[in-house]
Every structure is written in structure tokens, then in C-alpha cells.
Structure 1
């Protein structure tokens, strides 16, 4: 990873860490220990610590994927072969995952997020209060006759996450 990219990442992690520490009034290490000792004491703190950990994990996975891609590209002639292209797809998927986790963490830290106020917040609160009472959709699919379900081949590739 280039120095500019790692500095940008350090800045993002520093900003998010600073926001976490400002929100909870303690260092991230102290907050982690407090959450580990009593996770039910503050569900918001527990969720932030969990998502921060996920962000750190996804960044480490991205770093590994980028390193593998760079190593493969170093051995390539001018054309990129299928294995290197596959590694590029893994890097792209890792970036998407990392960015999504950063977005969730920013949302959790933003008390003024639109979804946390008004009618949307009330609906979300009602939904989460009812959690643990069973699935929101039926656990079993409705019965279908074999003739009613067409056979459609599924094409595509899967992305390891």
C-alpha cells in the first residue's frame, strides 16, 4: 500500500476513534474493556465497539488482499491474467466491506442521523423492542407445486466475504 493511502487510512481511523472517544468520554481501549466487562450496561457502546472491531478486521483483510494483488502484479508481464483479475475482484469486495462498515460506524456515532429521529426512529424502536419474539417472516416457504416453479439456471460468481 502506498504511503499516501496508508496515511489516509490512518486519518480515517483516527477520526473515527476520536469520535468514539468523544462520544463515550474515554479512550477506545478503556471503552473496549468496559464493554467486555459489562456489555449490557450500554448497548450503544457495545454496538460501536463491535463495529469498530469489524472495521479493523475488514481493513486487515483489505491489506492482505492488496498485498496479494501487488505480489501477483509484480510477476505479471504487461497483461493481467485471470488469477490476478480474481485478486483484483477480492480487493474490490474488501474495499466495499470496509467502506460499508465505516458507514455503519459513522451512523452509530451520529446522534442527528435522520433515521434516529422522528417517525423513523419510533418505528425502529418498536421493531427492535419486538425482537426475540420470532421471525418476521414465516420460517417455512408456502407450498408450491413442482409445475408452478420454473427451472431457471443461475449464472454468476460468488464473492468470498
Structure 2
């Protein structure tokens, strides 16, 4: 069967990506064909990294980078169970809490460092649209990161 343009997911890169490294991390827009399969994941938070530390503490889950890695690996596993890959992710919303170790500033660089190992790489070149926001807190104490994604596959 021949794929027509209307049957294909089209990713429009951010125009600033030609000159700004930060703009290479996400798409400006993504067009989705009407016949595409879609899965929306609820917000995913980090798994417990060190059960020997105080419950509900940041140390129990790790710093922002460690938590981001935990979250992306969980998202990858959930997508795989349902027949998707990280390359199928078209939209991502990342909520990041300010880290007390960084004077309450969110470690967006730490999030990007991990994110860039999974999105926009030679092995997996697709990047989703993305929103990152610093929030006051997440519901579980100790969480610094929670990410929601939508993944889409053409039929």
C-alpha cells in the first residue's frame, strides 16, 4: 500500500532550530492524520530509587536528572507494552518542581540532559511538541518531575 501525505504524521521543526540549540529539542507543530492510532499516558512520576531514605523525601527518588531518567524509562516501557515507541511521542508536558538544593530553581538543564538522550538523537530523531513548567509541588512528596505524553502511530 502506498502511503499518501494525508496518511503520514508530519513533524514541523521549530524554525529557530537552525540557529538555537535549545529549539532542536522540540517540534513547532505536528500534523496527525485522521486514521492514526493514539495513546495518552497519565502523568508518570519517578520510581523509588533509595528505599533506605526517608519516605517522601527527594533523596528517596533522586535529583531531577535521576527522576527524569526514571520517568522516561517508565514511559518507554508503557509505550512498548501497547505497541508504541518513544519515536511515536508527539506531545509531552513536563512538570518540574524547584529543587531545594538549587535554591528552589527547577533543574531544566537536568531534564534536558536526560531527554536529549532519548529524543532527537541519531538513533531516534523524532522530537515531540513539548511544554516544561516549574510548579510549586507535585502531589507525592519528594517528586521533582512528572511527565505526560501522547503517542501516535499512522495506520
- Between Structure 1 and Structure 2, the one with more strand by share is 2
What's the TM-score bracket when you normalise by the shorter of the two chains? under 0.3
TM-score, with length taken from structure 2: 0.25
Structure with greater helix percent: 1
TM-score normalised to the size of structure 1? 0.24
Q: Which has the higher contact order (CA 8 A, sep 6+)?
A: 2
